[in-house]
């Protein structure tokens, strides 16, 4: 039972354009969401997060949007840069679980075309 879904396994975007990565979840108990970025041969690193009390969180070129009614979140990267090429994982958790049990999506491989 995949509670966090990233339906696009890969995405290619021209440098300078906007990259939009999508994530859907099914568990209504999730109230905290995170995006991780993973380069080859490295572990995932935290990128940005959002609490369910917000619908938007911005950090530089990265913005995460949360639509609770649709159980959908998205990560926007603008402008996209070659260094953004990586696999992006969406993850979700709940304060009720102690904020430690992350449920991950399958990841989206983003390729930025120079």
Partner 1 sequence: GAVVSQHPSWVICKSGTSVKIECRSLDFQATTMFWYRQFPKQSLMLMATSNEGSKATYEQGVEKDKFLINHASLTLSTLTVTSAHPEDSSFYICSARVPLAGINEKLFFGSGTQLSVL
To partner 1, the closest distance from the beta carbon of 97 in angstroms equals: 10
Contact 53, 33 (CB under 8 A): no
Site residues (vs partner 1, CB under 8 A): 2, 4, 9, 32, 34, 36, 41-46, 49, 89, 91, 93, 99-107
When the beta carbons of 43 and 83 are compared against partner 1, the nearer one is 43
> 87: cis peptide before it, omega within 30°?
no
Give the list of residues 6+ apart from residue 90 with CB closer than 8 angstroms, or none. Answer: 4, 6, 21, 23, 33, 34, 35, 73, 75, 104, 105
When the beta carbons of 60 and 114 are compared against partner 1, the nearer one is 60
To partner 1, the closest distance from the beta carbon of 42 in angstroms equals: 5
């Amino acid at each position: 039972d995949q509670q966090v879904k990233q339906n696009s396994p890969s995405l290619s975007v021209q440098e300078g354009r906007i990259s939009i990565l999508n994530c859907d979840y099914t568990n209504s108990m999730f109230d905290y969401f995170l995006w991780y970025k993973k380069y080859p041969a490295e572990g995932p690193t935290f990128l940005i997060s959002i609490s369910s009390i917000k619908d938007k969180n911005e950090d530089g070129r990265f913005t995460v949007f949360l639509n609770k009614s649709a159980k959908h979140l998205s990560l926007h990267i603008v402008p996209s840069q070659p260094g953004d090429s990586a696999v992006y994982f969406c993850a979700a958790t709940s304060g009720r679980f102690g904020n430690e049990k992350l449920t991950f999506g399958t990841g989206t491989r983003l390729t930025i075309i120079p």
